[in-house]
Amino acid sequence: MKKVVALRHVQFEDLGAFEPALRDAGYAPRYCDIGRDTISDSDRDADLLVVLGAPIGAYEEDKYPFLLDELHLLENRLAAGRPVLGICLGAQLIARALGAAVYPGKVKEIGWAPVELTDAGRQTPIKHLDGIPVLHWHGDTFDLPKDARRLASTVITPNQAFAFGASTLALQFHPEVEAKGFERWLIGHTLEIASVPGLSVPVLRRETLDLSGQTASRGVRMLRDWLEGLPPDQ
């Protein structure tokens, strides 16, 4: 089987619905738990690198020096055209590794809402997410990297998704989230939820129960199409 390494920063922001989908596609996922594990040579050689989310900024290496190791890993893989998938913080780190600025957004974007696909987005696997709500959970945003293709936007966040070359997909939102295990998000982000006016645990729980099944199913279809479209030597 091909090897997938997922850089995980907090336990509850995992591969979710993507993990069994990756196994079904012939990939063997393994987590590198940042803060406990060290990025190794075998991680660098993985057939696919997935960088997952976290409640920290991609520019906070003064507080979290491990970000420099992740950026170095990303820079090398991007330069070599090796497959990379970034979700939330992962997308922000990809943008930074490509030379784009990452910074706090105007407001935090948390909750379920659709993204608006660009014309380019409708021609890519992200088309499966057209018209359905996805989970947003971020306070930072980024500029579109040079030579990247914007795939999706919202009013609050113009750069919600982009592709770079044939082997890199960056998603600011979370199409992998399932209702199962979501209670961990509500516990882990309790202070952040309380800090956003109008946001509540009961509403997030209810919306996730109602919406995550369809979104995760569409997200898996997106992932499968993307994997099938990777260059043959990848």
Segment 25-74, tens digit of pLDDT:
999 999 999 999 998 877 788 999 999 999 999 999 999 999 999 999 99
Tokens matching residue 156: 């609050």
Q: Angle CA(158)–CA(160)–CA(165) in degrees, nearest 5?
A: 110
Short-list 14, 39, 13, CA closest to 29: 14
Q: Is the pLDDT of residue 234 over 60?
A: no
Short-list 102, 178, 105, 112, CA closest to 143: 102
Segment 7-30, tens digit of pLDDT:
999 999 999 999 999 999 999 999
Query: Has 207 been annotated as catalytic?
Result: no
Query: Has 176 been annotated as catalytic?
Result: yes
Of 136, 138, 176, 189, the catalytic one is 176
Of 13, 19, 88, 189, the catalytic one is 88
CATH of 2-178+215-228, one of 1.20.1250.20, 3.40.50.150, 3.20.20.140, 3.40.50.880: 3.40.50.880
Query: Has 128 been annotated as catalytic?
Result: no
Of 9, 128, 136, 174, the catalytic one is 174
Domains of the chain by residue range: 2-178+215-228
